[in-house]
Amino acid sequence: MKKLVKIGDRLVGEGQPCFIIAEAGLNHNGDPELAKELIKIACQSGADAIKFQKRTIGDILIKEVLDAPYLRSTALAPTYGEHRYKLELADEIWHELNNLARQHGIVFSASAWDHKSADFLESIDVPFFKTPSADIINLPLLEYIAKKKKPMIVSTGMCTLEEIDEAVEVIQRHNDQFILLHCISNYPCTDSEVNLKIIETLKKRYGVPVGYSSHDKGVAIPASAVSLGACVIEKHFTLDRTMLGPDHAASLEPQGLAKMIKYIRHTEMALGSGEKFLNEAEREPRKRLAKSVVAKVDIPKGTVITADMLMVKGPGSGLKPKYISELYGKIAQEDVLEDTLIPLDSVNWPNNF
């Protein structure tokens, strides 16, 4: 399996900077101008990509569901179908959004909820396909998209590990360029539900890059996910959390999105390489705070050194304490005053035998 996936001109995976997706989703509420504003906000916040959602409503829901009353306080219309149709953008708007994202230097894509949507996204040349948790068990759709041979980012919410097994098996028949996202499909989910250790479970089980689609509250948990190896973070954002629409309340506002990205980048810097070495910035503190072998009493030249003549004190610029026992029985080759550092070459002084 591929450890790195190429999205546009970016490599995503282990050892690479986290690929941050600002999930605009449906938070444009069907308004093209709001969708454009969200692209600008994502770019200003430092996100690597902005992602929307594309549905062919009549192809994914039966008539009974479409005609059902929709009584939620966030509803945009009286029936669920009307509500959903209001959240869709015209094809020509998608072209405008794609071009705008390119102008701002940010990757543009969308979740494909059905075959027609996947075909449309392919026609505008998105650099990767996203599949939602709702379709992790929709193996025909996963296979259809996998055959398009573009990188895939696959959310794994509201399913079992065995269902992920089935999805991975179908995808990898046709495509080895895919990333799994750990996800809890509760909007928002509680901290106790997040279960970030699943990131490591997925990495070990499938050997592919793994990220985190964040439905938790706030900005700290995505940074924690990065510390556990998430190579992609996806997070919903909106212009205003109080707006009508399905996802605003569980989204970050612009300031929160920028703060989350800042935390992630600081976390990446703090993680470092895993290689232990004496940091250049630690050298001066080490001299002040570490310890060396020190003369407990005056030691005249020619004296045979004994244990009661030595002790350990700061600073750390002298002989390391580990050598103290090697000095027992050595003949001092110079005068060493009480409460001063034993010379560095003292381990090479002759023995008294």
24-80 pLDDT per residue, tens = 999 999 999 999 999 999 999 999 999 999 999 999 999 999 999 999 888 999 999
Q: Which amino acid is at 300?
A: P
pLDDT the model gives residue 1: 56
Pairing mode, if any, of strands 19-25 and 210-214? unpaired
DSSP character string of 19-62: EEEEEEETTTTT-HHHHHHHHHHHHHHT-SEEEEEE--HHHHS-
Nearest Cα to 155, choosing from 92, 63, 267, 235?
235
Q: At what angle do helices 220-227 and 254-271 cross, to 10 degrees?
A: 20
Confidence of residue 309 (pLDDT cuts 50, 70, 90): very high
How far apart CA 184 and CA 206 sit, in angstroms, is 19
In tens, the pLDDT along 248-280 reads 988 999 999 999 999 999 999 999 988 999 999
Q: Looking at the domain covering 8-271, what would its CATH class be?
A: alpha beta
For 130, the token pair is 């996203």
Measure the CA–CA gap between 110 and 255, rounded to whole angstroms.
Answer: 23
Query: Mean pLDDT of all residues in the chain?
Result: 96
**Type and span of the H or E element at 67:** helix 63-67
**Model pLDDT, residue 246:** 87
Which contiguous run of DSSP H or E holds residue 199?
helix 198-206
Where are the chain's structural domains?
8-271, 280-348
| Beta bridge mates, 246 | none
Confidence class for position 2, pLDDT limits 50, 70, 90: low
Q: What is the mean pLDDT of residues 116-128?
A: 98
- The domain made up of 280-348 has a fold known as Type Iii Antifreeze Protein Isoform Hplc 12 (3.90.1210)
Task: State yes or no: pLDDT of 344 exceeds 80.
Answer: yes
Radius of gyration of the chain (CA): 30
The answer to whether residue 132 scores a pLDDT higher than 60 is yes
Closest by Cα among 134, 150, 153, 131 to 142: 131
Contacts of 63 (CB under 8 A, 6+ apart): none
d(CA 93, CA 213): 26
Domain 8-271 matches domain 280-348 at the CATH topology level: no
Q: Please, which pLDDT band fits residue 3 given cuts at 50, 70 and 90? A: confident
